[in-house]
A and B are shown apart, each in its own frame.
Chain A
Amino acid sequence: MVDVIVFLIAGAIVLGGALGVIVSSNPVHAALSLIASFFGVAVIFIIQEAHFLALVQVVVYAGAIVVLFLFVIMLLGVDTSENLRVDPLVGQRSLGLVFGGLLLALTLGGLFLSGPGGDEGAVALTGQESVVRPIDDRSQIEQLGEDLFSRNILAFQATALLLTIATVGAVVLVHNRGAEDLVIDEPGLSVE
């Protein structure tokens, strides 16, 4: 019974934060709602015994990624409210809501209409059963580390390469070559 109550509270925080992201007109408020949503997801992970992932969720998502968003918002000075009353493109809102509703209907329909034994489709597609790596009694970090550094070592190295490329790419993109050509609209920042 306790886990149901915890789930309902955490789920309300997740969905409320998510709605706050898409309805708030100020990007700073959207980022703060995003933090609330990420904390709710961390609680969901804890209920499902994924304790280490909950920790990583708080540190990486609620910590690093949202702080990166806030840095960019403050750096660009775009923390002004935008007018959400006008629909800039006629029909964009209603079409977006319709597509979102269809997506929700599709996922929920797939969830509730599919009977038991749902992995037959995967077997038909790939020709093999799903690989089971049962969770044993050792600590979760130990098992995750072993899984990451033995079975998934190639993917792990690929992610290392991906992160290096992303870092170098960010430096190249933000590096301000030819700043004298740049038209700066703000008064008081004019290039001498």
Chain B
Amino acid sequence: MELTETWYLVLSALLFSIGAVGLLVRRNPLVMFMCIELMLNAVNISFVTFSNSLRDLAGQTAVFFVLVVAAAEVVVGLSIVVAVMRRSPNATADDVATLKG
């Protein structure tokens, strides 16, 4: 058996779908953020796979920017979650609606 890029892309598709299902099914905002991280990682696997198969460095550079955006998203998202959950510790994703004041 030979390891082709299709294997990596199938893995990436599976990981993305698992993340998407988790995002749709779970109601805890922290777990929903973790599912977004899974989806971003699936995209990173695709980027590195194409970078390796095309022998092109641009894919690896793109992974850096995905990393930065993921970090910024987690920081802002978690601070919103902290702000909501300080008022009601059992908040679900629906309770983010209290932010509208």
Interface residues of A (CB under 8 A from B): 1, 3-4, 7, 11, 14-15, 18-19, 21-22, 27, 30-31, 34, 37-38, 41, 44-45, 47-50, 53, 56-57, 60-61, 64-65, 68-69, 72-73, 75-78, 82, 88, 92-93, 95-97, 99-101, 103-104, 107-108, 111-112, 130-135, 140, 143-144, 147-148, 151-152, 155, 159, 162-163, 165-167, 169-170, 173-174, 176, 182-183, 185-186
Interface residues of B (CB under 8 A from A): 1-3, 6-11, 13-22, 24-28, 30-31, 33-35, 37-38, 41, 44-45, 48-49, 51-52, 54-58, 60-61, 63-65, 67-76, 78-83, 85-90, 92
Asked if B31 and A49 sit within 8 Å, CB to CB, the answer is no
Residues of the B chain whose Cβ atoms lie less than 8 Å from the Cβ of A107? 13, 16-17
Which of A18, A22, A53, A57 contacts B26, CB < 8 Å?
A: A22
Residues of the A chain whose Cβ atoms lie less than 8 Å from the Cβ of B86? 76, 176, 182
Residues of the B chain whose Cβ atoms lie less than 8 Å from the Cβ of A135? 51, 55-57
- With A96-B21, A99-B24, A173-B83 known as contacts, the answer to whether A78 contacts B75 (CB < 8 A) is no
- With A15-B18, A88-B92 known as contacts, the answer to whether A111 contacts B82 (CB < 8 A) is no
Asked if A7 and B3 sit within 8 Å, CB to CB, the answer is yes
Residues of the A chain whose Cβ atoms lie less than 8 Å from the Cβ of B8? 7, 44, 48
**From DSSP, what is the main secondary structure of chain A's interface residues?**
helix
Report the Cα distance A90→B31, complex, angstroms. 20
Beyond A14-B15, A15-B11, A21-B38, list 13 extra A-B contacts (CB 8 Å).
Answer: A22-B18, A22-B19, A34-B38, A48-B49, A65-B70, A69-B33, A76-B86, A96-B21, A100-B18, A133-B58, A147-B58, A155-B65, A162-B68
